[in-house]
Amino acid sequence: MKIIYVYLIFRKKGYAFGSLSAVFDYLDEDEVGIKKSTLLHRSDAGTITTSRAIITKLTLLRSKKCHGKEDTDKNQM
């Protein structure tokens, strides 16, 4: 699962989003320092730095255990 991490330089605060579009549901273009259309066109880049923010695409790491399935070995004990 990919997440978009936005660190606002002047606020010294970071936010995690599920998509690039979600960034602009919570922050405006002036806060981020880039227009939504420009960010969407540069979405292949791993990290984008503006004068106001550092925008990074990351992979969310999850537990390696099976989710929603019971472990059959534990049920047999």
Burial of 59 (0-12, 13-18, 19+ CB in 10 A): exposed
Q: Would you say the pTM of this structure is higher than 0.85?
A: no
> pLDDT value at position 62?
87
pLDDT at 58 over 90: yes
Q: What is the band of 64 on the pLDDT scale with cuts at 50, 70, 90? A: confident
Contacts 24+ apart (CB under 8 A), 48-53: 51/9, 52/8, 52/9, 52/10, 53/6, 53/7, 53/8, 53/9
Average pLDDT of every residue of the chain: 87
